[in-house]
Structure 1
Amino acid sequence: MQTLYVSQQGCYVCLEGELLLVKRRDTILNEIQLPLLEMILVFGKSQITTQAIRSCLWRNIPIAYLSRMGYCYGRILPIERGYRQLSRYQQELSLIDRLIVARCIVQAKLKNSRVILMRQQRRQTSDVIAFAIQSLEYLMTKAAEAERIDQLMGYEGAGAAQYFSAFGDCLTSRDFVFAGRSRRPPGNAVNAMLSFGYQVLWNHLLTLIELQGLDPYSGCLHEGSYRHAALASDLIEEFRAPMIDSLVLYLVNRNIMDIGEDFVHKNGGCYLNESGRPKFLKAFLQRMEETITDDFGEPQPKWDLLHQQVKEYKQFVYEPVNGYSPYQIR
């Protein structure tokens, strides 16, 4: 199954038989068969015809509308995508069940971050990276012993601080300087790519969560609200380092992104521009379409990792006694 990204501005998506066509004026930029489509992400000022929307809803294909910087304004979902039944099970999860899952998620995030740094340490020795690796290992042990969610959030925050303190040493391009994580707004080009990538990944997870019938606003680690889908924020923690951080390192260290052409400074922050967004999304899509082997020995695209993890959480909701297994890299 494929995801359609409409990232260029001024486009419109229309229906032609069993095809969705992405056009800009009279030029066809992309086309995709409806039976092969899983979801649509529309960035910025582009439109979808009513006929195309109706056909997507008929085929249970969700549509997400995002700003050009990746912020999700909202989603169009088929009417049967309710999650009331599973929501009751989620609400009935005990505090200890939620704590155990939250521990697993934080430990997996710290471990995955540590693995990324260990890979970089093998390529270039750095005392800063070595210290961060040791710190993350210690915090993993503390997270396993945490008895409250606020303790876990503290260990997660400390781990992120240590990890990003070493992230700059993993970058080999002098044009891309990274002194620490800044989000609202992103302070430099590296933070712009991280924020944009996290938002794209978050929206994918949110859509998959809704497609599985789970309540996205009921999580274990993060606190949900009517505007915050806590479960998406929970599950993304396992994937930040292996899917987005590693991609940013690749784009910078291979000189694929251009500091002068792919970013714009405005409103006190730095963002991907009309050149940078399609370039980032193309690399992201290529990476997510890489083939991996699942537990049954079958080849699957990396997209399936997200899908399988959402189903793993769904299975936990049905049978909390069996626990939850987070996504971890080696």
Structure 2
Amino acid sequence: MKHHLNTLFVMTQGTYLKKDGEAVAVKVQKQTRLRVPLINLSGIVCFGRVACSPPLLGACAKAGVAVSFFTEYGRLLSVAHGFSPGNVLLRRTQYRWADDPQKSADVARAIVLGKIANCRSVLQRAAREQENATVVRDLKQVVERLTYVLQTLRGPMNLDLVRGLEGQASADYFSVFNHLILAQKDRFVFTTRSRRPPRDHVNALLSFLYAILLADVRGACEATGLDSAVGFLHRDRPGRPGLALDLMEELRPLLADRIALTLINRQQIKPKDFVVQPSGAVLLNESGRRIVLQEYQAKKNETITHPFLNEKMTIGLVPHIQARLFARYLRGDLESYPPFMLR
């Protein structure tokens, strides 16, 4: 079992990262502020004007530590990593399956099943905790619609139908997302999903969480020997990590949506932690990003029992486990891909 390692997030502008023996030295204004052994890291995530020395990038590639570069506000720019590990036959199987319409539909259907089941779990939990009868009614109606979609997905179907059902289920889920916001309702209002750029505080929070979750899932794919760019639900597009986006779908409710709601409802994050640009884009500022990353890391360290393996592990290990289960499916060790489903 792979040990759960930490991710080093670097947000201070002008920071320089360099290799210091077998460790990463974090230097700000030529002063070493932190030193972290490479053996303790699964990844390094840099926001904005953060530079890395060539020797450090080489050491990270050798150690299997992915270095991700984001804009200051959380848009993924690039990921530096070493040679993909694992058997080349695994990746060749992945490519063949991605070109097979029925195989692609089967993989996409399993992933969408996991995503919709987890969205339903989030709404069911919210309905149990609600006291407003009208809100409970609305939530239960969407739960019923998601249950119907889940039943429909149990049978074989083509990829276009899978995508259509996924799109409708996502629209239903987000149609009641505002009911899950219980505090600061005057400033944190969700009407519809907006991206590139996000147009309100809730969307800014979701977009940032999805970006850092994508970096984790992408790293898990590469560490397993999979090609993170070749997906099944998300088809090939230059610069898009299709498989990472696929495997991320079932994890969004647990490692993004719930965290966003927790931060808002506990009033850990406030409107002052955002910046509104002249274009109307709403983005997290530095204090907001720090709050989100602290909560994200804390969530990753929580312990759960994996529903398929029936083993206890930290939540941060789940992307790695799912990538390995998907690799086992490609190799023929499993009859189908078991998506991660909340209990």
Q: TM-score range by the shorter chain?
A: over 0.9
How far is the alpha carbon of 1:278 from its aligned partner? 1.2
Does 1:46 find its partner at 2:46? Answer: no
Are 2:178 and 1:168 aligned? yes
Which amino acid is 1:142 matched to?
T
Quick one: which of 248, 262, 267 aligns to 2:273?
Answer: 262
Residues 84 and 223, structure 2, Cα contact 8 Å, conserved in 1: no
Letter of the 1:198 partner, please give it. Answer: Y
Task: Name 1:224's counterpart in structure 2.
Answer: 236
Q: Tell me, yes or no, if the aligned pair for 2:122 and 2:253 is still in contact at 8 Å.
A: yes
- CA–CA distance in structure 1, aligned partners of residues 32 and 121 of structure 2: 42
Contact 2:217 2:244 in 1 (8 A): yes
Q: Distance between the aligned counterparts of 1:277 and 1:227, measured in 2?
A: 25
Partner deviation per Cα, 1:217-264 (whole Å, 9 max, x = no partner): 2222121123222111111110011110000110000000011x2101
CA distance in 1, matches of 2:80, 2:58: 10
Name the residue aligned to 2:147: 137
Q: Is the 8 A contact 1:8 1:278 kept in 2?
A: no
Q: Which moved more, 1:115-124 or 1:84-93?
A: 84-93
> 1:86·1:215 contact (CA, 8 Å) conserved in 2?
no
Report the AA paired with residue 322 of structure 1: E
Q: Per the alignment, do residues 46 and 90 of structure 1 end up closer, same or farther by CA in structure 2, a change over 3 Å counting?
A: same
Aligned to 1:252, the other structure's residue is in SS state helix
- 1:35 pairs, out of 33, 39, 52, with 39
Q: Which amino acid aligns with 1:307?
A: H
- Distance in 2 (CA, whole Å) between partners of 1:305 and 1:13 is 28
**Alignment RMSD (CA, Å):** 2.0
Where in structure 2 are the equivalents of 1:191-210 lying within 5 Å?
191-210=203-222
Cα distance change, pair 80–217 in 1 and its aligned pair in 2 (3 A) = closer
Residue-by-residue CA offset, 1:186-244 (whole Å, 9 max, x unaligned): 11111001011111111111111112111222222121123222111111110011110
Structure 1 position 75, deviation (Å):
1.7
Moved over 6 A (4+): none
* Change beyond 3 A, Cα 1:222–1:298: closer
Cα pair 1:290 1:302 within 8 Å, conserved: yes
| 1:95 partner letter | P
Residue of 114, 138, 149 corresponding to 1:108: 114
Cα separation, 2, equivalents of 1:328 and 1:140: 12
- Matching of residue 271 in structure 1 with residue 283 in structure 2: yes
Structure 2 distance, partners of 1:146, 1:88, is: 24
For normalisation by structure 2, the TM-score amounts to: 0.90
Show structure 1 runs of 5+ residues with no match.
Answer: none
**Inter-partner Cα distance in structure 1 for 2:336 and 2:153:** 17
**Match for 1:285 among 297, 300, 323?**
297
With 249-258 and 139-148 compared, the bigger mean Cα shift is at: 139-148
Question: C-alpha distance in 1, partners of 2:95/2:56?
Answer: 36
Q: Deviation of residue 37 (structure 1)? A: 1.3
- How far did 1:184 drift? 2.1
Q: 1:317 offset after TM fit, Å?
A: 0.9
1:182 aligns with 2:188: no
Partner of 2:14: 10
Q: C-alpha separation between the residues in 1 aligned to 2:309 and 2:194?
A: 40
User: Post-superposition shift, 1:104?
Assistant: 1.2
Q: Displacement of 1:83 after TM fit?
A: 7.1
- Structure 2, unaligned runs of 5 or more: none
- One-letter amino acid of the counterpart of residue 150, structure 2: M
Aligned twin of 1:313: 326
- Cα 1:26–1:234 change in 2 (3 A) is same
Is contact 1:97-1:320 (8 Å) kept? no
Q: Trace 1:294-305 onto structure 2 (pairs within 5 A).
A: 294=306, 299-305=312-318
Aligned to 1:121, which of 99, 111, 127? 127
Deviation at 1:153, TM superposition (A): 1.0
Alpha carbons of 1:296 and 1:203: their partners in 2 closer, same or farther (altered >3 Å)?
closer
Cα distance change on mapping 1:230 and 1:325 into 2, 3 Å: same
Distance in 2, Cα, partners of 1:203 & 1:166:
28
1:128–1:166 Cα contact (<8 Å) kept: yes
CA distance in 1, matches of 2:320, 2:31: 34
- Given that 1:108 and 1:326 are in contact with CA atoms closer than 8 Å, whether structure 2 keeps it comes out as yes
**Are 1:23 and 2:23 matched, yes or no?**
no
1:89 corresponds in structure 2 to 93
Structure-1-length-normalised TM-score = 0.93
Q: Pick which of 296-305 and 96-105 moved more.
A: 296-305
Residues 86-142 of structure 1: per-residue CA shift (max 9 Å, x gap): 221112224323222211111111110010011111111412212211111112122
